[in-house]
Amino acid sequence: MPNEPLKTFRAVEPAHFGFGAMASLASQPFVLHHQEIYSLTGVGTGVAGAAATYASLAANRFQPWNLRTASSCYPVAVPNAYDRIYIFPVFTTSWTGGSTTPSLGIGTYVAPSIVPFGLTPQTRNFSTSNKLNPALHRLPDDVIQVANPTQVNTGLNLRTNGFWVPLPAYSTNFSTANGLLNAAGSTNPTHFLRGNTGAGSAAFLPSDFSLSASNTSAITVSDSQKASTGQIVGLGHEFQTLGSEEIVVALGSNPSGVTITHAGELNEVYKAHFFLMGMFLG
């Protein structure tokens, strides 16, 4: 069900300077990833601070043509007017209708790391006619097969898999002073996403969150106001779309630190959910 790419967005005008000067372009937010991280049927005894449990990370999740068929993955088609996508985590609860609302809490919250991938235009299911015609297309598979007619298969297989690229963070540069390159939590601050010695800062979402129940005391540097709530909305990163026609997002690592508290009412079903949400910007 989720693997048909979403195609419904708020209608926007083509991106150009005149329109951009009058209004910003933004799409309706949409789901990119979902998993159920907690489920329990109450037996009449309260449960305090039960930890969320995440699915094991799939070994092939960095192969987007495989990832997009996973039940947790929700591909999204990219409207032409947008040049970047904002990706952020959301946690929430659901229950079957008992009298006591479950709530989420945060211990030491660690946000997930992610790697978004973009499908380059006119690759998956593209025509095989007029190979190497300079007025039409010149794809790697075709170069191999024209130069070596007996080599009928290639490792790319791009008309079946599509040709995918990892998407870089928006407005990155190669200065080590760039906040995306030296953010806390990066094991390799010289890479945007992933290098041969570790993951770069752009892959790590900030371990910060906003929407939550609070109290009346003043917020201080040491007081993060992480009270119990029915939803947690974390901060994310903006990534370039690079003209992609479709985007899928792989989890580099699972989040941690989120717990759920509920009354354990008899036969009440409590669940907690983890989403990666996206929003196109222009």
pLDDT value, residue 13: 54
pLDDT tens profile 141-158: 888 888 888 888 888 899
pTM (2 d.p.): 0.85
Confidence of residue 199 (pLDDT cuts 50, 70, 90): confident
Confidence check: pLDDT of 25 > 60: yes
Confidence check: pLDDT of 92 > 90: yes
pLDDT tens profile 211-261: 666 567 676 776 555 656 788 888 898 999 999 999 999 999 999 989 898
Other C-beta atoms lying within 10 Å of the C-beta of residue 61: 18
Q: Please tell me the distance from the alpha carbon of residue 250 to that of residue 30, in angstroms, as a whole number.
A: 16
In the chain, domain spans: 26-120+163-215+224-281, 130-161
Q: Please tell me the distance from the alpha carbon of residue 164 to that of residue 7, in angstroms, as a whole number.
A: 19
Q: What's the Cα-to-Cα distance from 155 to each of 137, 141, 146, 162, 248, rounded to whole Å?
A: 19, 9, 16, 12, 21
Element spanning 281, H or E: strand 269-281
> How does the average pLDDT of the chain come out, rounded?
81
- Kindly give, in sequence order, each residue whose CB lies less than 8 Å from that of residue 193, ignoring residues fewer than 6 positions away: 115, 166, 168, 169, 199, 200, 202, 203
Of 246, 235, 243, 240, nearest in space to 281 by CA: 240
Other C-beta atoms lying within 10 Å of the C-beta of residue 167: 23
Q: Please tell me the distance from the alpha carbon of residue 244 to that of residue 236, in angstroms, as a whole number.
A: 20
pLDDT value, residue 177: 42
